[in-house]
Each structure stands twice: as C-alpha cells, then as structure tokens.
C-alpha cells in the first residue's frame, strides 16, 4: 500500500486523528524552532500535524509529532488561545492512555505543539474493514475509560477538580499502538467554558454522530458528554452501526436531540451500559466515569480475558487485512 493510500485509510502516526489531503507546499514549514519537519501526517478542521525530528549531541535524535494551526487560522487570536490552552493543560497530564504533550513553541509567527509520535492505527481505520472480537473491544473500552477517568478527576495543586472534558471521544481519536497500547488523542481537552465550547463545536462538524445532545444545544458540558461519545463508540464497535445516524447531518442531529434509544444488536450484558451512556439527560448517565469503568470491568467477566498481548495479536491480523 502506498504512503498516500495508507494515509487515506487513516494510518495514524500522530496523537491526533487526521485524514490526508493534498498539500499546499508553499505553506508547509520546513523547520519550527529546533524541529526539522520530515513529513506531513494530516489535517483536521483546525490543525495539521507533521512528523519532525530534533537532534542533540553525540548523534542523539528524537522523532515527535508537531501540531500547528492550519494556515487560515494562524494569527486568529481565538484559535491560538485554544491551542495554547490545550498545550498548557496537556503538559500537566501524564497517563499511559493519553498522548503526551511536551512543548509549546512559536517560530515564524506559528505556534506549534510538540507531542508523542504514536506508531500504530486509529480505531476507525481498523474497524472499517474488520470486526473486533468482544474481548478486544472491552479491553480497548477499559483502557479508554482509564484515560478519561484520569482527565475527569484531574485536580490542581490545591486538590480542586479542574472539571476537564475531552469533548471529542470517537473511534478516530482512539489510537492503538503496534505494541498493544491504547491512547486517547488529546484534541479539545479543556475546562469547559461557554466561549470555548462554541469555538470547538464549530469545528466538530463531521463528528455530529458522536456529539451529545447538550453539545448540539451549545450548552455547557461536563464529563457526562464524554460518556455519550464513549457510548456511541462502544455501540458502533459492538454492532457495526452508529446509534443515531441519519441520512443527513441535520437528521442525525435531530435523532441525537430526541435521544430515542434505537434497536441495536448488542450483547445482553452490555446493552444496559450503552443505554445508560446514551441517556438524553446528563444526570441520568453514570454518576462518574469510575462507575462506568466498574460496569465495563464487571461485564468483561462474561467473556474470555484480553490484555495488551491479545490486542497486539488482533492488531497484527487487522492491520494485515486492511493493508490488502
């Protein structure tokens, strides 16, 4: 498979899910601060990501992912503030299920965010072609929730909860490493505010199917919104169908606002979990991410165990099938 076609199937080597587009070579940086740009990885609505390398003494070199605003948003104060906020918060977070953020810099008027370079695949690229066994799905779900629980419970130096929300939980933002690890990309992690919610929601179009009713209503959101995104993702992995898909984006959004739980082919032991995550009212979902994770852990007991080694083996099979 060519590098371009691999990118089109969402092969992911960065901390953010992005889809390959043709480049505007004139606007592609070749160096940002100490980082030499090696290649373009992809872009989303707000930012684009590059693989880069930094050199040090005695032959030292380290490959990283650099996230920068797309050319049309560079110099936009709102977008720059959002990226800066993401960098500041991301740098404080350290968890095996989150993509690490290491530096925020600015060069040639371009803000750049230095992140882990993740070698692997996003879940969307794999599950388009290959159905996942339930034990694998539940292992990935548990790892996702470990990262989300860490985000939701994160406190400041005085022990006060920061109220962080991921706000973009989708299969595209679930990264599976070649070694069997699971990471959430950190796009959009922030403390909710009305201004920031409006900024992010403008650029989540195309991901309406995973947005909660309160996000679509431009209301202030809480960690319960991430439970909704998790519930849609889990339902899709288990059944192959997104619960509220409509023929158009407008129809999809209306179905989400109504939040009538659809008829899906879900395992009996998992249906109540999915249904609770997809309650219309945030207060009717799980009281905390920790309790949701407990429910998943209990359900896992009804299937054969799966750990990182089992995920690694499945990833090898799935990636080979996708590459054909």
Catalogue all structural domains in the chain, each as residue range(s) with its CATH number. Answer: 31-116 (3.30.200.20), 120-191+205-323 (1.10.510.10)
CA 52, CA 275: separation in Å to the nearest integer?
42
Q: Which of 23, 27, 21 is nearest to 8 (CA)?
A: 21
167: confidence class by pLDDT, cuts 50, 70, 90: confident
Summarised one tens digit per residue, pLDDT across range 67-110 is 999 999 999 998 898 899 889 888 999 999 999 999 999 999 99
What proportion of the chain, given as a percentage, has pLDDT over 90? 66
Predicted pLDDT at 199: 56
Instruction: Determine how many CB atoms are found less than 10 A away from the CB of residue 255.
Output: 18
13: confidence class by pLDDT, cuts 50, 70, 90: very low
Sequence-separated (6 or more) residues with CB below 8 Å from residue 34: 54, 55
**Does residue 288 register a pLDDT over 60?**
yes
Let me know: does 116 contact 70? Beta carbons within 8 Å: no
Q: Which of 85, 109, 91 is nearest to 32 (CA)?
A: 109
Locate 297 and state its tokens: 């852990």
Q: Which of these ranges, 2-11, 42-51, 272-281, has the smallest mean pLDDT?
A: 2-11
Q: Per the residue annotation, which of 116, 168, 197, 226 is the catalytic one?
A: 168
| Section 214-238 average pLDDT | 93
168 belongs to the catalytic site: yes
Predicted pLDDT at 60: 96
- Where does residue 287 rank: exposed (0-12), middle (13-18), buried (19+ CB within 10 A)? exposed
Strands 61-69 and 101-107: unpaired
């Amino acid at each position: 498979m060519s590098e371009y076609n691999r990118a089109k199937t969402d092969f992911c080597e960065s901390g953010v899910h992005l889809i390959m587009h043709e480049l505007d070579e004139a606007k592609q940086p070749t160096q940002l601060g100490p980082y030499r740009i090696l290649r373009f990885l992809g872009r989303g609505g707000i930012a684009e990501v590059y693989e880069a390398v930094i050199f040090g003494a005695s032959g030292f070199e380290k490959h990283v992912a650099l996230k920068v605003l797309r050319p049309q948003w560079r110099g936009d104060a709102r977008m720059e503030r959002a990226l800066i906020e993401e960098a500041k918060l991301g740098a404080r977070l350290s968890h095996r299920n989150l993509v690490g953020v290491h530096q925020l810099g600015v060069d040639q008027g371009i803000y750049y965010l230095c992140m882990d370079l993740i070698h692997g695949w996003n879940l969307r690229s794999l599950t388009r072609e290959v159905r996942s066994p339930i034990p694998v799905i539940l292992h990935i779900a548990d790892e996702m929730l470990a990262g989300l629980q860490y985000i939701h419970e994160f406190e400041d130096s005085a022990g006060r909860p920061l109220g962080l929300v991921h706000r973009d939980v989708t299969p595209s933002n679930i990264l599976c490493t070649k070694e069997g690890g699971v990471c959430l990309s950190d796009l959009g992690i922030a403390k909710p505010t009305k201004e920031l919610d409006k900024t992010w929601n403008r650029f989540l179009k195309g991901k309406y199917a995973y947005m909660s009713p309160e996000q679509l209503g431009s209301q202030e959101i809480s960690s319960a919104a991430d439970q909704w995104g998790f519930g849609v993702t889990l339902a899709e992995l288990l059944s192959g169908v997104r619960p509220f898909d409509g023929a158009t984006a407008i129809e999809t959004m209306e179905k989400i606002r109504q939040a009538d739980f659809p008829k899906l082919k879900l395992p009996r032991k998992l249906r109540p979990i999915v249904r609770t995550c997809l309650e219309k009212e945030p207060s009717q979902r799980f009281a905390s991410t920790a309790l949701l994770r407990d429910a998943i852990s209990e359900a896992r007991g009804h299937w054969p165990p799966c750990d990182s080694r089992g995920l690694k083996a499945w990833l090898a099979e799935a990636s080979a099938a996708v590459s054909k």
